[in-house]
Amino acid sequence: KQEVTQIPAALSVPEGENLVLNCSFTDSAIYNLQWFRQDPGKGLTSLLLIQSSQREQTSGRLNASLDKSSGRSTLYIAASQPGDSATYLCAADTNAGKSTFGDGTTLTVKP
Amino acid sequence: DAMVIQNPRYQVTQFGKPVTLSCSQTLNHNVMYWYQQKSSQAPKLLFHYYDKDFNNEADTPDNFQSRRPNTSFCFLDIRSPGLGDAAMYLCATSREGTGLGEAFFGQGTRLTVV
């Protein structure tokens, strides 16, 4: 059974700082690894999707990497802004068609 | 423009009174999902439809059922809500059926049981 862990559970940083969010998964037979953003009381917005054959994906100030062999993915946020404050979730899609989410990292960027 | 729309955004129901949550999509995606998310926890998949094929998760309570009358709409029926069913319910769609793939989520319905 796939288990997805996100560390830390919460993170507070000053504006402008670069930061890394971590996601680990126990079953390396994944199809995709996806990062989402969730604002309080809202649904999920897909940020980046990394297919199993890829090592990283970039979108603006966001960069996500994937290391299947070690069961890890990281989300790097450059030059953080207060508007980046949200909960970030990763989800691992297995070849069996199942998706497992982590509990998320709640990020606060202070002005 | 919203592509996955959930109604209502907030729903209050009485203990044991049946309630239906709705989801519609304008993306013409084959797959629709229902997730339950409790406070500070990961979304938990309840079931999904690939076209009209219904797939129930093994640990989804019998109290939860779903209907997909056409491509655009999907409903979540909770037959006898208990206090433990209070949560955010998220609907999502994707074109593919292998995991979520590129998924689009609605804004969710927050269910309160009194």
pLDDT over threshold 70, residue B101:
no
Query: What are the structure tokens assigned to B2, written together?
Result: 């919203």
Is the Cβ–Cβ distance between A66 and A58 less than 8 Å? Answer: no
Taking an 8 Å cut-off on Cβ atoms, the answer to whether B40 and A103 are in contact is yes
Residue B92 to residue B103: CA distance in whole angstroms: 6
CA distance B24 to B91: 9
Contact B98 A31 (CB under 8 A): yes
Question: Is residue A102 classed exposed, middle or buried when 0-12, 13-18 and 19+ CB atoms within 10 A define those classes?
Answer: buried
* Residue A52 banded pLDDT, cuts 50, 70, 90: confident
Query: What's the number of CA atoms in the CB half-sphere (13 Å) around residue B93?
Result: 22
Q: Is B107's CB within 8 Å of A104's CB?
A: no
Examine the pLDDT at A14 and tell me if it is beyond 90.
yes
More confident residue, B107 or B40: B107
